[in-house]
């Protein structure tokens, strides 16, 4: 057993508490990772706030990290001490029926225990100094200087890539770009609308530009997002609070009959409806990325689907993590995609709650904690 420093979510709605915690060493099929950097995703805030039906406390949140392998447990064959890794909340065991099906990335090998805040053997490696167990989160718990992760939930990446940038590939970058490339499979010349220009939506825009979309409409209530949106390829901006009349009608007109593809990156179910209805009659596809609070439900007139629109969703951008994440790191290192401008704030672990304040104030795209 060792001690490490972590930001602990002690109870729903409470600020994270920075403290020393106990961490047991890696058991069979597990790996001890020293986390070097972690991003703050809105999903961490969703769980901290109490909106997550799977939320369980006390827990160490964080799922957008990068670090170095410190120790491997029994039977680990694909990683060794010193390897650079990105933890995966969507693992890739390469043998379950989901991994063997090219239509999905949702490996289910450890999903049941992961959702209960436990490692696959049904126990937790973290505890308070008084012995109280602390739950894991999304199988990653990157808001800790050290964490234990299943081998199948680690992507091995090149050693020359900077941790404080590639941590973002652990969720936001892959989710946004993957939603375009893997899930929607956007064609050259498409028209698209992206709702929510935060850490995910800007990566959707970046993905759309890569895919060769002709029109990329960004929609956000915050005008401050325009500069960054345009930097990544947004061609038109709409602030719904400044639209007179019906927002759907406005967007349909702006896109010449509706968009080929729309993406929700807000987590707001009313926005999800607008996104579906602003997609083109006959063929429009609307992709839900945003995560909605417990109890929230989507609705629309079935006629919207009868007349050819499709409603779809994506987790981790449809990426099979151990295979795809190292490639996305290469894209970054080769200058094919940009990450640096989106990392608007760097914090220490002690400042992590300020990172959530910045998120709420709409001042950050990504705040990254560096250990
Ligand atoms: P963020 O806080 O950085 O960005 C959200 C953006 O949405 C902000 O710019 C905000 O101004 C805008 N917004 C909020 N309400 C709006 C409205 N009614 N109309 C238009 N714009 C609005 O959050 P993020 O980190 O980009 O995450 C976005 C969503 O994606 C969250 O729900 C998060 O939980 C989810 N998410 C899902 C996945 C997945 O795999 N499906 C992965 C990562 C994040
Ligand atoms: N626990 C929530 C669901 C949260 C959710 O949908 N998470 C996404 C990743 S968000 C990353 O920022 C995901 O991967 N979903 C697939 C899965 O298996 O969890 C709830 O509503 O219960
Ligand atoms: Zn995330
Ligand atoms: Zn699997």
List 30, 47, 48, 64, catalytic entry? 64
User: How far apart are the CA of 315 and the centre of ligand 2, in A?
Assistant: 7
Mean pLDDT of the region 94-100: 98
Distance of CA 254 to the CA centre of its chain: 29
Cβ contact 196:228 at 8 Å: no
Q: How far is residue 299 from each of residues 52, 270, 293, measured CA to CA in Å? A: 20, 8, 15
Name 353's Cβ contacts closer than 8 Å, sequence gap at least 6. 15, 16
The 10s digit of each residue's pLDDT in 333-367 is 999 999 999 999 999 999 999 999 999 999 999 99
With 0.95 as the threshold, say if the pTM is over it.
yes
Q: Whose atoms come closest to the Cα of 183: which ligand? A: 1
Ligand 3 centroid–CA 278 distance in Å is 25
The confidence band for 206, taking pLDDT boundaries of 50, 70 and 90, is: very high
For 282-313, the pLDDT digits (tens) are: 999 999 999 999 999 999 999 999 999 999 99
In percent, how much of the chain has pLDDT > 70? Answer: 100
Residue 106 has a CB neighbour count (10 Å cut-off) of: 16
Element of type H or E holding 42 = helix 42-49
Residue 218's pLDDT is: 99
Q: Which domains does the chain have, with CATH numbers?
A: 2-170+339-370 (3.90.180.10), 176-315 (3.40.50.720)
Radius of gyration, CA atoms only, the chain: 20
| Minimum-distance ligand 1 atom for the alpha carbon of 222 | 11
Q: What pLDDT, on the 0 to 100 scale, is given for residue 355? A: 98
- Give yes or no: 167 in active site: no
Quote the tokens at residue 309.
Answer: 């629109």
Pocket, ligand 1, Cβ cutoff 6 A: 41-43, 46, 171, 175, 195-201, 219-222, 225, 240, 265-268, 271, 289-291, 314-316, 359, 362
* Residue 304 contacts residue 328 (beta carbons within 8 Å): no
Mutate to test the pocket of ligand 2, among 38, 43, 53, 139 (most ligand atoms within 8 A of CB): 43
345 catalytic per annotation: no
Question: Tokens at residue 103, please?
Answer: 């239509």
Q: Distance from CA of residue 93 to its chain's centroid?
A: 20
Q: Are 29 and 120 in contact (CB under 8 A)?
A: yes
Distance of CA 323 from the midpoint of ligand 2 (Å): 20
How many CB atoms are closer than 10 A to CB 205? 30
Residue nearest to atom 11 of ligand 2 (CA): 43
Task: Tell me which of 52, 179, 315, 317 to substitute to probe ligand 2's pocket, judged by most ligand atoms within 8 Å of the beta carbon.
Answer: 315
Burial of 317 (0-12, 13-18, 19+ CB in 10 A): buried
pLDDT tens profile 17-60: 999 999 999 999 999 999 999 999 999 999 999 999 999 999 99
pLDDT of residue 232: 98
pLDDT at 109: 98
Pairing outcome for strands 285-288 and 310-313: parallel
Give me 368's structure tokens.
Answer: 């990254």
- In the reported structure, the alpha carbon of residue 120 is separated from the centroid of ligand 4 by a whole-number distance in angstroms of 13
List the one residue out of 120, 91, 16 whose CA is nearest residue 59: 16
């Amino acid at each position: 057993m060792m001690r490490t420093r972590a930001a602990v979510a002690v109870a729903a709605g409470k600020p994270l508490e920075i403290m020393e915690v106990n961490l047991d060493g890696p058991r069979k099929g597990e790996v001890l990772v020293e986390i070097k950097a972690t991003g703050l995703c809105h999903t961490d805030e969703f769980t901290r706030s109490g909106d997550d039906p799977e939320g369980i406390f006390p827990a160490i949140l964080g799922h957008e990290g990068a670090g170095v392998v410190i120790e491997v447990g029994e039977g680990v064959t694909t990683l060794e001490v010193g390897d650079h890794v990105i933890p995966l909340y969507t693992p890739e065991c390469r043998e379950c029926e989901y991994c063997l099906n090219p239509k999905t990335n949702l490996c289910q090998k450890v999903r049941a225990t992961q959702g209960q805040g436990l490692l696959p053997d049904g126990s937790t490696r973290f505890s308070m100094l008084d012995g109280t167990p602390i739950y894991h989160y999304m199988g990653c718990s990157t808001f800790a200087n050290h964490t234990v992760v299943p081998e199948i939930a680690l992507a091995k990446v090149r050693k020359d890539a900077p941790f404080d940038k590639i941590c973002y590939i652990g969720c936001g970058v892959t989710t946004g770009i993957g939603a375009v490339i893997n899930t929607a499979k956007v064609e050259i010349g498409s028209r698209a609308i992206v709702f929510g220009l935060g850490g995910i939506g800007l990566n959707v825009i970046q993905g759309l530009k890569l895919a060769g979309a002709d029109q990329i409409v960004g929609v956000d209530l915050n005008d401050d997002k325009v500069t960054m949106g345009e930097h990544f390829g947004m061609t038109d901006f709409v602030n719904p609070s400044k639209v007179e009349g019906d927002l759907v009608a406005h967007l349909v007109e702006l896109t010449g009959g509706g968009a080929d593809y729309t993406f929700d990156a807000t987590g707001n179910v009313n926005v999800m409806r607008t996104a579906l209805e602003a997609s083109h009659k006959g063929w429009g596809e609307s992709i839900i990325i945003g995560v909605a609070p417990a109890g929230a439900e989507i609705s629309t007139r079935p006629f919207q689907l009868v007349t050819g629109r499709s409603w779809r969703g994506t987790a981790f951008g449809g990426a099979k993590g151990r295979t795809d994440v190292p490639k996305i790191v290469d894209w970054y290192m080769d200058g094919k995609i940009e990450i640096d401008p989106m990392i608007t704030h760097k914090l220490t672990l002690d400042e992590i709650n300020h990172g959530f304040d910045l998120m709420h104030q709409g001042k950050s795209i990504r705040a990254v904690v560096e250990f």
